[in-house]
Structure 1
Amino acid sequence: MYTLYNSFALQGQHHIETWQQQGRDWAAYSRYRQQAVHELYIPHTVLNLVIQGEKRMYDGSRVHHLYAGDVLLIPAGSLLCSEILRPQKDYRSINLVLPDDMILADRKAVKNNVAAYTKSAVTLPRDERWHTFAQLLLQHFAVGETRPPDYYDIISQTLDLVNKNEHISAMLHKTVKYPLPQVMETLCTDLHEVRLLEEVAAMGHMSTATLKRRFREVYQCSPMHWIWEKRLQMACFLLRTTAQPIPEIAYSTGFENLTHFYRQFRKSFHVTPLQWRKAETELFSK
């Protein structure tokens, strides 16, 4: 159902350049010349800087509509759907992977006992510093340097900007400190089939009590609530990016009862699935 995002290369890209550290990609500049859609399991924290064009990122009951100049922070272990819209110009973006050890090294949020945001993708406030930073990265990619800029310098600059918001910093710290990799790796392919809390706990080799506590700590909701939210996320994405009949979408995303699907959809998005499919962009919040 979801594709593991362990490489910056994705279907539909026209061009991509990457930088490596110890044999692993840590930064990428990519360009699209046509519409593209992706369903992604993102195991590491990723910062996405939109350089040109627009796209939508579906994250549970929220859809981020991103334009040039926007910055999206994606916590490790996220299941997201991405829709790069048909651009009048190329869609261009830069992605950076933020390593767990450098996130954990920032102890400020923990020491100050700052309340963390719920784990989810976050559109960061527009700031001239982000624009300057993006232009710096673009300059490095533009000259086609055989040696990329210093890895630790760029990542440190990125985290300094991210950590201006202590709530976001605390969220990232908590996400990295309490990962659920085995659960997420299984759910990214079997999300539509899960029915019982015990099944989810077994995926992570933990008790149901431990699983519920972890989800409350990180997501501030129960595991099954999160699963239903992610099923609605996929339904929203398919309604906008495919011509599949609505009942087919409901069943394929894990809903066994159409009445339940319609009720939950309207409760979360305040419109019917058909209205969502036909909607213009004002339905999509940032």
Structure 2
Amino acid sequence: MEEQQFISSSYMLRPSLLMHAEEIMQREDFSPGTIYALSGLVFQRVPISPKRSPVFHQLLLIAVLPSESQPVKSLQNNLEALLSHYEVSVEKEEQGEEHRVWLSSRELHNFGQITCVPFPRSELQHGKSSILTLLLNLDHLATLIFSIPDWRLLWTSDPRFLASFEPGSQVPAPFQPFSLYPPSYTHDVSFWMEPDTFDELDFHEAVRVATWGAVRDIQLVDRFRHPHMGHASLCYRLAYQSPDRALSRTRVLELQNQLRTLLPLRLNITLR
């Protein structure tokens, strides 16, 4: 996971709950052998995609456990058993006494991470101990378990979706799409930009803001670099499709026009 923090004059977006690990370990009630859990929202800069979300719910587990119990191997085996039906792969990495395990699916690389390092205060105890942490993208895990094709559905207020996850109901069945053929529209946007200052992730963020999350996917279809003037022309193809409602052609045109109005204001570009 990218460990970047995004700071403005009034707020900071955390990229990982791991930044709270030291705070947890300094609590008065923190004791070896007990697993502490923390969950909350984290943020990341990612391109628009039905598989990767800019904000998601993350789970952090942290504990100090005896090294001889092989906590990484035990946790890894349990997770592999639980996720064996969802084509989750495991990648191991060892650097000295630090052990790391990455969990990946076909749709998302490294959506989970297990880390184990020596506990620095082990000399005060009998035997060696290790600090074990688990980070898990809960939103992606939900899309795997319930076969949800688009992460945007996890943020919908549509009662048809929410009814499948009401408290007290039985284990939900795999998600059934509301429509097998939801309307989809494609529109292109082309502009001149300066290669040294253009940030593609800023462009994706502007698309999210202008279209209210109605764009499912973006592809770069053409790029031209002027041989003498230095600036370049880009053409992106936007796929408009909502996961929980039918978009009309008129509404999509309104969103596309909003995007064309916003882009020159937020980015150093000239529309074509």
TM-score (norm 1): 0.25
Higher helix share: 1
Higher strand share: 2
> Who wins on radius of gyration, i.e. which is larger?
2
